[in-house]
Every structure is written in C-alpha cells, then in structure tokens.
Amino acid sequence: MYKVREKIRNLAIIAHVDHGKTTLVDAMLWQSGIFRENQQVAERALDNLDLEREKGITIMAKNTAIPYKDYTINIVDTPGHADFGGEVQRILKMVDGCLLLVDASEGPLPQTRYVLSNALENGLSPIVVINKIDRPDARIEEVENEVLELFLNLEATEEQCNFPLIYTVAKQGIATYNPKQPGKNLVPLFDTIIEKVPPPKYIENHPLQIQITTLDYSDYLGRIGIGRVTNGILNVGDWVYMGSNDNFTKTKITQLFGFSGLKRVPIDSAEPGDIVAIAGVEGIKLGDTLTDIENPKPLPPLKIDEPSLEMLFSINSSPFSGREGKFVTSRQIRDRLFKEIQGNPSIQVEETESSDTYKVIGRGELQLAILIETMRREGFELSVSKPTVKTKKENGELLEPFEHLVIDCPEIHIGIITQAMGIRKGKMIKMINHSEGWVRLEFHIPMRGLIGLRNFLIIETRGTAIINHLFLGWLPYAGDIPQRTSGVLIADRQGRSTAYAIENLQERGIMFVGPGEEVYSGMIVGENSRTNDMWVNITKEKKLTNMRASTSEESYQLHPHKVLSLEEALEFISEDELVEITPKSIRLRKKYLDPNSLWNAKKLNQ
C-alpha cells in the first residue's frame, strides 16, 4: 500500500541554457531565509565550478534543500546545454515534479524540448515558469501558445497539459500569477510548488531502495554518492547490499548527510523521499542500488543516451613535452580518463592499438572541450585529435547521427547561413519571421556538419547569430562534407619567432604566434591564404652588417596575431593535425613533425 511524505517536495528546474534557472534558485534561497542578511554569497551560488562561472552555464547537476513554512523543498538545478543531457536524464529519477523555465522572448528552444520530453516520459508534474517578463521584446502570449504546442507535440497527458503558469523576473526575485500585475516576491511560486508538485510516495514496510544518481568528491570524505530514498529507511551503521546487474557487495553505512540550503548536514537516518549523500562507501558508482541484505530489491539500471562524437587523447610527444605540466605519462592520462567515466556515464573511453592513445566518445564538442579544459587545469599535458562522428550500420545501411539545428539571426544574414547549410548537407525544415528584423531558421543536419559551424557563423554574422542544436536520431549517411579549404604555415625548425620573419610571412595568411614565442619543427604557426601547407622559417633574423643607413633601424609593422581558444583550435585542425594542450599553452601541430615523415604518411593515405 502506498503512503506519502506530506511535508516534502522534490523537483527539478529544467530549461534551455541561459534562460535563468540558477538565478531563480539564487532568489529562492535568499527568500527562504537560508542566508543571513549580511552573508557574502556568490552570484549563481549553485554554479560553484570555475568553468561554470567563466562560461555562464551549468555543467554539473546540483541539489539544494529550501525550507518554506513547515515544508522542505528539495530542488535540483540541471544543465541546460544538450551536451550535458546525461546529467538531466539521471537527475529526473530523483524528483516528482519539475519547473519548466522558458524565456519570455526566446520561447521554447531545442534543449527545452529535450528536457521536457525526458520529464514527461518520467511522469513528472510540470509547472511552467515564464521568466524575464520585463524584457522589452517579451512576447508572453505567443510563448504560452508555443509551450502548449510543445506539450501537445510531445504527446503529454491531459493532466500534464493543464499545467499551472507562473510569471517571474528571477533577477529581481519576483513572481506573479498575472503578468499585468507586478509581483512582490516569490511566494506565488513557492505556494504553487507546494500545491501542484505531488509529495513522494513509498510502499510501507518495503525493503530499502536507494539509487545513486550523482557522484561528488571530498578531500576529507572521499567519494560521495547522492540519491533519493525510494523505499525503506536507512540508518547510520546499517549493513546493505550495493551494486547493479546482479553484481552486489556487502557494505556498511558509516556517514550519512542530508541537505540544508547549500550545506550538507550529518543525519542519523533517512526516510522515503529524502535526498541524501552517502560517504565512506568504497567503490560506490553511478546507477548503484543500495538495498536490504535479507530481501534485496534492486532498482532498474539508469538509461543514458549513447554518445556519438569521438576524439583521440594521447601523450604530448612534442619537443616541449614536460615543461609545463605535472602529469605527462600515458598511465596518468589513462587513469584520469577512466576516473571520469565512473562519475559521467555519458562519456565512454576505449583502448586503442597504441598504448599511449585512448578513444574518448562524448555527446558533443562542448562536453569534450570541458573535459580537456578540466584536465588542463589539473596539470595534465596531452594531445587531442580532430573530433570525428561515430557511425553505425543497420541492415547493411550506413547511419550517422543527425541534429535538429535552430539559428536565430538578423534577416540580412539568411543568405550566407542557407548557403553554409547547403554545403554541410543541412536541410531547412522551417523558417519563422518574427517581423522584428529577426528570423528563426530550423534545419536537420548531420552532426559532422556542426563541427566548426559555430565559429564560422559568429564571424559571418558579426556575432549576432544564436545557435542551438539537439540530437535528432540516426539517419542514412548524407555524403561527404568539404573540410577546411585553407592550408597552414608550419615552422621548419626550433627556436624563437622574430618580428622580422613574421612581417614577411603575414602577407601569406593569418599568424597564430607573435614575436618572441618559442616554436618547434612541425608546429603550426599560421593559416595559409592558399590551399596548400607551407613550411616556413619563422625564426629568421635580419642580417647584421657594419654599414648603417637612415632606414636601417625602421620599426616592423605587424598585424595582431590570432589567439585560438580551445574550442576554436578543435574546430580548426584537420585529420593530420593535433592540438597540443598544456596547463599554460594551446598549440597546433602536425601529427608528424618531420617534413619527410609527413610526406610519406600523405602518400600512404592516397
């Protein structure tokens, strides 16, 4: 027989990237009285990773507990970017309802569709929050209709389609039932959560069931597993079975924590519906079930969409290897990659024929770039290859992953965008003109066509294009897509670059290094304006003579060199090139540093 915990509500906040989820959680925390009035709390308190603060996006799902009246509201903040969708799929197992946040101007975007479809499949009760209603270009009524249309397209039940609507300005911490009547605080939102989100259900006298959906790490406590108590009661000191797929081990619960605001609080026991953190359990993994020893009842394993973008990670074999990093060996790189997959099931790592190279498969460029940047900041040196798309065969037909691409841009750029999409095998399926000078273009495009697209469109639309995409499915192979048309300038010797050499070379293309930088043979120092690669002497110095003329001391006229970010470097390189990554530098290089080896490799490939 089912019973309920009336005083608990568990919900997730889901939305497209940058629609205001974390900002809204900030306002809820402040108004719940968790913080003192004079307490110093960082903006977007739940985005506590350095990379999250720098990029302004949520990467890891995190949870917090907010007291309201005599209720406890457990809130999980989820990532809004499609590359981190694996986080969303896991987290939705912990909750009974969701806040679907939608921007009052942009409306539902691809990731909104993705996270909502996952929420509806899990049978969650949605509350729709239309945020940023103070924007001058807000179109509230149209967005309401678009949200309802989205629910109908996703075949939501009649009960789910009768969702409550709340209008908010998360930055100001206000909510209202009517957009024409300004709100004063978030009380309408809190009250709607209590009223509409169902309390957690459990079966009385059922054996213990907890599934680990998030992992954390503490220098003092070691690995921490976070999950929701589905059934039963867990006490400190209990012996339980832990594992999945009939592979269980016996373990003792030594430390148990609940949540209060942003803090973990030690507790002695946890009841059904509680979200708890379990520390001190060796070997705890994502998806593991903690269950009763006498009557074990494991929960079904977590289901995560398979990754589809591959990259090769290898040791840094350049002449500058070991200068800047602490971890440079293949064993250290291997251990770090296999540690990553224990906490992130949406990434896969495979061994290759080479003992110092590993294939890493992820859900998108951004996810893999975040992994590389994290390793770089931890002190690793490594080389990575160009991202390639995973393909598979079904019934003798070659299939590849396709994406649903949405581009918002000024209408004057429609021509250049449609032309670029044609080259990349994209097929336009919808065009919406908002009659404000902006259009929304929707395409179905192979995932291969997205590599390098963002950087190209940012340049061609002068930074005005807004690009979003979502995994569509596996479709027949669309044919070859032309790669980078320009060649590169390659240093032919080791040394320091000189202003004299750069002044003569900059007419041939765009330089990637400035004067006085160390280079080595095989390092890419610029982009050639022609299609062929060119080996150049960037260390050449001006010949000295004992003759002096009035023009001999003239200054050099150098153009600013282009500094590539990690994402730009991954997009730029071709199949025979690598990105060399160290804690202090990002360099481009050829796979074969010697001109003769490179020439022989090209002849073999032909």
Q: Determine the Cα–Cα distance for residues 12 and 275; give it in Å rounded to an integer.
A: 12
Instruction: Give me the mean pLDDT over the 289-318 stretch.
Output: 83
* Cα separation values, 212 from 74, 90, 246, Å: 16, 9, 16
Q: Higher-confidence residue: 588 or 180? A: 588
48: pLDDT strictly greater than 90: no
pLDDT for residue 606 = 54
38-52, 322-336, 433-447: lowest mean pLDDT where?
38-52
Instruction: Give me the mean pLDDT over the 253-257 stretch.
Output: 87
pLDDT digits (tens, 9 = 90+) for 460-471: 888 778 777 777
Helix (H) or strand (E) holding 54: helix 50-55
Delineate the domains of the chain, giving CATH numbers in brackets. 2-199 (3.40.50.300), 202-291 (2.40.30.10), 392-476 (3.30.70.240), 488-544+556-570+590-605 (2.40.50.250)
Other beta carbons within 10 angstroms of residue 589's beta carbon come to 27
Residues 6+ apart with CB under 8 A from 302: 89, 90, 93, 211, 213, 286, 287, 345
Locate tokens 């940012």: which residue? 458
422-443 residues labelled b (16+ CB within 10 A) or e (exposed):
eebbbeeeeeeeeeeeebbbbb
432: pLDDT strictly greater than 80: yes
34-38, 60-64, 352-356: lowest mean pLDDT where?
34-38
pLDDT for residue 150 = 85
Other beta carbons within 10 angstroms of residue 188's beta carbon come to 19
Locate tokens 């251990």: which residue? 335
Residue 496's pLDDT band, with cuts at 50, 70 and 90, is very high
Among candidates 225, 228, 234, 243, which has minimal Cα distance to 297? 243
Among candidates 60, 126, 47, which has minimal Cα distance to 91? 60
DSSP-derived pairing of the beta strands 125-131 and 97-103: parallel
pLDDT for residue 368 = 86
Residue 530's pLDDT band, with cuts at 50, 70 and 90, is confident
* Contact yes or no for 369/566 (Cβ under 8 A): yes
What type of residue is 406?
V
Average pLDDT, the chain: 81
42: pLDDT strictly greater than 70: no
pLDDT for residue 82 = 52
Residue 478 token pair: 């669309």
449: pLDDT strictly greater than 50: yes
DSSP three-state, residue 258: strand
DSSP strands (E only) in 189-321 = 201-203, 209-218, 222-231, 234-235, 239-244, 247-252, 255-260, 263-266, 269-270, 275-279, 289-291, 309-314
Residues 6+ apart with CB under 8 A from 340: 347, 349, 371
* Contact yes or no for 502/470 (Cβ under 8 A): no
Q: Work out the percent of the chain whose per-residue pLDDT is above 70.
A: 86
Locate tokens 């213990």: which residue? 208
22: pLDDT strictly greater than 80: no
Residues 6+ apart with CB under 8 A from 261: 29, 32, 34, 35, 64, 65, 66
364: pLDDT strictly greater than 80: no
Among candidates 59, 149, 142, which has minimal Cα distance to 106? 142
Q: Higher-confidence residue: 346 or 402? A: 402
Residue 415 token pair: 């021509």
Instruction: Give me the mean pLDDT over the 8-29 stretch.
Output: 79
pLDDT for residue 546 = 63
Locate tokens 């610029």: which residue? 526
228-232, 244-248, 387-391, 474-478: lowest mean pLDDT where?
244-248
207: pLDDT strictly greater than 90: no
pLDDT for residue 537 = 92
pTM summary value: 0.71
55: pLDDT strictly greater than 80: no
What type of residue is 498?
T
* Contact yes or no for 364/82 (Cβ under 8 A): yes
Q: Work out the percent of the chain whose per-residue pLDDT is above 90.
A: 10
579: pLDDT strictly greater than 90: yes
pLDDT digits (tens, 9 = 90+) for 143-168: 889 888 888 888 788 888 888 999 98
51: pLDDT strictly greater than 70: no
146-150, 178-182, 303-307: lowest mean pLDDT where?
303-307
Residue 38's pLDDT band, with cuts at 50, 70 and 90, is very low
| DSSP structural state of residue 364 | -
Instruction: Give me the mean pLDDT over the 426-433 stretch.
Output: 87
Instruction: Give me the mean pLDDT over the 379-400 stretch.
Output: 88
Helix (H) or strand (E) holding 581: strand 577-581
DSSP three-state, residue 231: strand
Q: Determine the Cα–Cα distance for residues 128 and 24; give it in Å rounded to an integer.
A: 13
43: pLDDT strictly greater than 50: no
